[in-house]
Structure 1
Amino acid sequence: MNVIAILSLRQIPNVAPYGASAFLLWLLAASCLFLPLAMVCGELSTGWPKDGGIFIWVKEAFGKRVGWIVVVCFLCSCVLFFPLMLQFAFSALGYVLGDGLAGNKAFIGIGSTILFWILTWMNIRGIQWTKAINSVSAWFGVFIPSAILILLAIVWLMTGRPMATDYHAAANWIPDLSRWDSIVFLSSMMFAFAGLEVAPMIAGRTRNPQRDFPRAMLISAIVIVGIYMVGTWALNTLYPAKDVNIVTGIMQAVKAASIELGMPWLLAVMGLCMAIGAIGQVNSWLVGPIYMLQEASREDNLLGERVSSLHPVYQTPAFALIVQAVLVTVFCFSTFVSPSVEAAYWTLTALTTLCYFVPYLVMFLAFFQLRRAQPDVTRSFRIPGRVLPVVLPALGFLSVAFAVVLVLIPPAGMDMGGGGYLAYGGKLVLGILAAIGLAEWIYHRARRRHSEAANGQTSA
């Protein structure tokens, strides 16, 4: 479950510019975030095994208001994630249909919008299409393109060709942490483990949670980090680290290698696989956050009757899905106002990371609060010992906080538009404040509506 939920080839081009030093950074990200996140989610999910996940844990620790803010931030991260993945898909398709389209703003922006509305329409009509698309995308989006990339690198070396990136010098294995704007992609390495909160929700259903769950987390950590490392090595083998584009990096490498090895047809195969995988990821997340939002708003009817209503025929949250599609359309057109497709892609990545990591920060704090306030709640899995329950959540919190700081720094060598650090960081801070402000407005509006209704009944 962890491998399927977390692993994404989209993350590799973000890290490939570090070259050989990416290996140490992957290990650092796994140690500082993957394991603390897994252990904390494991204990919380077995102590409060209810639908809602992070929302339930935060609500138990800090109340419904904070829990609601976390839900809205999570939903905002998904709304930002959709155009991000669609841009990735159409950039890959651009290589199949013609090099010029890979960086064409109109092709990527309009194509992403049309495709998302098609997926929305299909999901309004029921989940049978969702199941079919997800089954196909698991193979074509992850396993097949991963195998192609790694096998290409092996063939490249076996035929006597040199690595495009220098892995021989010992100095290249040490990360250059001298400049903040050169290590900002570390935040994307942290985000590469997003989704880990899903699998621990069934930790309590294993035969021996205290033994089997940590073992499963360790194995999945080795598999996921291992594939990320090998994928990064393969990309660096085929294409110079300094020239990797964070959107089209994999396609750049496959194009260069397939032409050199006399297999130009492989580029089209890889492009289609990457696009199918990205579309599948969008489709798999399209409905889930909407249902979580409805679950969170059900108790106090925070969103009102219309938003919470289901389609009369298909029994799906049609109105909420349409509102979501409108918001995604706005962000899909961000390609038109950004200096480049790469700049638009990174801005969406940064905003997605911020909105996704704020709930993580609150969740780590909720762990400490629940350990203190509700120590007697039965947890079929507990972080063992007396030191680890303090060290691991603290390490996770600090790692996420560090990633949030990195996100606010524009990456070196990328044209993010005028204004410098202040303007770039200001836009991102305004984005997360807007999400929190929206949550607060909805919550207080609903409370006021309930208060007025209660006063009306009292008067009557």
Structure 2
Amino acid sequence: MSNNLLGAKDIVFMNVIGILSLRQIPNVAPYGASAMILWIIAAFCFFIPLAMVCGELSTAWPKDGGIFVWIKEAFGKKMGWIATVCYLFSCVIFFPMMLQFAFAAIAYLMPKELTDNAIFMKYFIGIGSIVMFCVLTFLNILGMKWTKIINSISAYCGIFIPTALIIILAFLWLLSGYSMQSKYEFSLDNYLPNLSDWNTIVFASSMMFAFAGLEISGMVAGRTANPQKDFPRAMFYSAICIVGIYMVGTWALNTIYPSDKTDIVEGITQAIAFAGNALSMPWLLQIIAICLFVGVVGQVNSWLVGPIYMLQEASKEDKILGDGISKLHPKYQTPHKALIYQAIIVCVLCLSTFLSESIAKAYWFLTALTTICYFIPYLIMFPAFIYLRKIKPDVHRVFKIPGKILPIIFPVLGFLSVSFAVFLIFIPPAELSSNDATFIDKFWYFFKIFLGGVIAIATALITYSMALKRNDINKGE
């Protein structure tokens, strides 16, 4: 197999690194034993439908482009381009946000007098994010062989090793005579989540997006050795691996640290520090900090590649962005210009770390901008699947969702889950629902969410319209 072609294992690594984030585990850990049921609900309502739909579409149209190709085949190039721009918009904002988290994690290795210095941390995180993204961009320009190497290192060092470390630590905790820190005794009160509580429903919906990103590997389907054979197997193995790690990791975290005291942001480092000190292994905190850093960098790398290949494929249609951006590097056959343009935009966004009053405010502002943009392609993709089943039934699909009912249930369930999550986005958080919140505060909350979607859709419509006018002029000449 060529070093520039992906196999089933490479696709699994890309999916695991792109989707699975240990950051999600402390978000769920405060729910204790009921988190197991919440993970299953989230997987059933979103992850399984997404895996089934992406698995079939990627084997029916096994070439670069992913979501763009699937939506274009169903609803035309214009709708495909809108989905592409929205997806890319969410990604370029997602990158500095994730890099901020990565460098905040690695700061655990630094002296406390430095990490307590807000100005130093701004520059450390901002400059570090810019340098890291430029390095990743350069390596990915050199070809898929580097993408595979980074993903493999990140999968082992950033996901598998720290997960195994947390699980082993949980068993050592129990074998050392310590009791389990959270209530896991079998009883309905412990395991059944309180779905009558609106906060639990909101949280369960947000959990679905701990599974988002399975469509990334479909964007580089044209770079795989045997997409019809490899994709179905990779989707199956990815699903088992991701759901399993989330559930076992949550149990392990609850074992070594009380669920009701787990911080949703720093829960992993909090638990590792607590258990490490109790078991006379304080050095574990430094190891987990390095692992979290590597895992986040790998996640950025997975998302860096897929959407750019989708853009490269989409821009060929009607030469939407001109001739240059869709051309591949003469030696490495990678969309080098698109990667460079993306790096410039991301580096500019990384400057938000310097401009914002605090790193936390920069992080949450970027989150608000990107949220709605990421949902739009999903809202188009699930109906596209149903429509393609109707209008193009003869297109060969090595993997097909079995039966007559499941091909309808899965995309409908996925669409409804995403729609519900979109609805919940616009419900103000608790601090904005209080009497102290002003009208301006609430308006600004809604405006930030709308702003990302409006800018992305407007950009897509303007660039598409300009391309059509440019093509008409060239035809006239």
Cα 1:170–1:114 change in 2 (3 A) is same
Q: Residue 188 of structure 1: CA displacement? A: 4.3
Which deviates further from its counterpart, 59-68 or 107-116?
107-116
Deviation per CA, 1:309-354: give whole Å up to 9, x if none: 5557766444432321232234334445667545544554555453
Counterparts of 2:252 and 2:430 in 1: how far apart (Å)? Answer: 24
Which deviates further from its counterpart, 278-287 or 439-448?
278-287
Q: Residue 410 of structure 1: CA displacement? A: 5.2
Counterparts of 1:331 and 1:172 in 2: how far apart (Å)? Answer: 43
Which deviates further from its counterpart, 327-336 or 367-376?
327-336
Q: Which residue of 2 aligns with 1:147?
A: 164
**Is residue 267 of structure 1 aligned with residue 302 of structure 2?**
no
Q: Which residue of 2 aligns with 1:224?
A: 242
Q: Residue 249 of structure 1: CA displacement? A: 2.3
Q: Which residue of 1 aligns with 2:452?
A: 431
**Is residue 379 of structure 1 aligned with residue 397 of structure 2?**
yes
Query: Of 143, 156, 162, which residue of structure 1 is paired with 2:179?
Result: 162
Q: Is the partner of 2:32 in helix, strand or coil?
A: helix
The 5 A counterparts of 1:360-375 are 360-375=378-393
Q: Which residue of 1 aligns with 2:257?
A: 239
Contact 1:10–1:88 (CA under 8 A) maintained in structure 2: no
Which deviates further from its counterpart, 306-315 or 26-35?
306-315
Query: Of 52, 66, 74, which residue of structure 1 is paired with 2:87?
Result: 74
Q: Residue 447 of structure 1: CA displacement? A: 0.8
Q: Residue 105 of structure 1: CA displacement? A: 4.1
Q: Which residue of 2 aligns with 1:96?
A: 109
Q: Residue 68 of structure 1: CA displacement? A: 0.6
Cα 1:26–1:353 change in 2 (3 A) is farther
Deviation per CA, 1:92-138: give whole Å up to 9, x if none: 10112145639844432332223222333444455554443333222
Q: Which residue of 2 aligns with 1:449?
A: 470
Which amino acid in structure 1 is aligned with residue 228 of structure 2?
Answer: R
Q: Which residue of 2 aligns with 1:83?
A: 96
Counterparts of 1:128 and 1:382 in 2: how far apart (Å)? Answer: 30
Counterparts of 2:200 and 2:42 in 1: how far apart (Å)? Answer: 16
Contact 1:14–1:188 (CA under 8 A) maintained in structure 2: no
Which deviates further from its counterpart, 260-269 or 196-205?
196-205
Q: Residue 147 of structure 1: CA displacement? A: 0.8
Q: Is the partner of 1:163 in helix, strand or coil?
A: coil
Counterparts of 1:98 and 1:241 in 2: how far apart (Å)? Answer: 29
Q: Which residue of 2 aligns with 1:253?
A: 271
**Is residue 186 of structure 1 aligned with residue 200 of structure 2?**
no
Q: Is the partner of 1:304 in helix, strand or coil?
A: coil
Q: Residue 144 of structure 1: CA displacement? A: 0.7
Counterparts of 1:49 and 1:319 in 2: how far apart (Å)? Answer: 24
**Runs of 5+ in structure 1 lacking a partner?**
none
Contact 1:91–1:248 (CA under 8 A) maintained in structure 2: no
Cα 1:410–1:276 change in 2 (3 A) is farther
Which deviates further from its counterpart, 194-203 or 399-408?
194-203
Counterparts of 1:43 and 1:300 in 2: how far apart (Å)? Answer: 27
Cα 1:313–1:61 change in 2 (3 A) is closer
The 5 A counterparts of 1:35-434 are 35-98=48-111, 101=115, 104-125=121-142, 129-168=146-185, 170-177=188-195, 180=198, 183-197=201-215, 205-206=228-229, 213=232, 220-309=238-327, 316-335=334-353, 341-342=359-360, 344-349=362-367, 351-409=369-427, 411-412=429-430, 420-434=441-455
RMSD: 3.2
Cα 1:109–1:172 change in 2 (3 A) is farther
Contact 1:187–1:407 (CA under 8 A) maintained in structure 2: no
Cα 1:137–1:219 change in 2 (3 A) is closer
Cα 1:46–1:307 change in 2 (3 A) is closer
Contact 2:32–2:254 (CA under 8 A) maintained in structure 1: yes
Deviation per CA, 1:168-218: give whole Å up to 9, x if none: 4743433344565565443442122223235676897339x9xxx5x8756
Which amino acid in structure 2 is aligned with residue 43 of structure 1?
Answer: E
Contact 1:73–1:359 (CA under 8 A) maintained in structure 2: yes
Cα 1:24–1:259 change in 2 (3 A) is same
Cα 1:408–1:113 change in 2 (3 A) is farther
Q: Is the partner of 2:319 in helix, strand or coil?
A: coil
**Number of aligned residue pairs:** 450
Contact 1:11–1:188 (CA under 8 A) maintained in structure 2: no
Q: Residue 403 of structure 1: CA displacement? A: 2.0
Counterparts of 2:14 and 2:276 in 1: how far apart (Å)? Answer: 28
TM-score, length of structure 1 as denominator length:
0.86
Query: Of 47, 65, 90, which residue of structure 2 is paired with 1:34?
Result: 47
> How much identity, in percent, do the aligned residues show?
57
Deviation per CA, 1:128-155: give whole Å up to 9, x if none: 5444333322211111111111111221
Which amino acid in structure 2 is aligned with residue 329 of structure 1?
Answer: C
Q: Residue 219 of structure 1: CA displacement? A: 5.8
TM-score, length of structure 2 as denominator length:
0.83
Counterparts of 2:358 and 2:201 in 1: how far apart (Å)? Answer: 21
**Runs of 5+ in structure 2 lacking a partner?**
1-10
Cα 1:124–1:368 change in 2 (3 A) is closer
Counterparts of 1:414 and 1:336 in 2: how far apart (Å)? Answer: 26
Contact 1:56–1:67 (CA under 8 A) maintained in structure 2: yes
Deviation per CA, 1:77-98: give whole Å up to 9, x if none: 2212222321221121011214
Q: Is the partner of 1:287 in helix, strand or coil?
A: helix
Q: Residue 413 of structure 1: CA displacement? A: 7.3
Q: Which residue of 1 aligns with 2:7?
A: none
